[in-house]
Amino acid sequence: MPDKRPLPVSVVLVVEDDGFVRFTAVLMLEDAGFSVVEAANADEAWDILLARDDVGVLFTDVDMPGSMCGKTLAERVHRSWPDIRLILTSGRQRFSEDEVPDHGLFVAKPYNGPQVVDAIHHAR
């Protein structure tokens, strides 16, 4: 499998149902120089992905309300947009890198900005 395209200053889609956690993640990523869009659940994120062609990274919580969890969202994104880098996060579950679709990465909550930025740069 070829490596994904180099990561330009692309858009990070943050998917998190907890408004405060989402707000904090968005601020951390914007402070690191990324453009960020946000969604409160996987269904909203899917609609954003259908409407935009500039998302380069999906940073999603696993446990969310709606028709799909973050892992299912990541699996669907991998099938539909294989160039998007995938990063899962959760405070309740843990995933090995083998369990994250498409060589994505897992960052446990609570996380900090450098951990997430590092994961963005190392996800393939």
**What is the per-residue pLDDT across 43-54, written as a single tens digit (0 to 9) for each?**
999 999 999 999
**What is the per-residue pLDDT across 76-118, written as a single tens digit (0 to 9) for each?**
999 999 999 999 999 888 877 777 777 788 999 999 999 999 9
Task: Domain 11-122: give its CATH superfamily.
Answer: Response regulator (3.40.50.2300)
- Domain-by-domain residue ranges, the chain? 11-122
DSSP state for residue 105 in the 8-state scheme? E
**What is the per-residue pLDDT across 6-60, written as a single tens digit (0 to 9) for each?**
545 479 999 999 999 999 999 999 999 999 999 999 999 999 999 999 999 999 9
pTM summary value = 0.89
Assess contact for 100 and 86: CB atoms under 8 A: yes
How far from 41 is each of 8, 37, 46, 60, 124, CA to CA, in Å? 26, 12, 9, 9, 23
In the numeric block, which tokens belong to residue 51? Answer: 């409407």
**Which string of b and e fits 82-93 if b means at least 16 CB within 10 Å?**
eebbbbbbbeeb
**Residue 41 zone, left/alpha/beta (φ > 0; ψ -120 to 50; rest):** beta
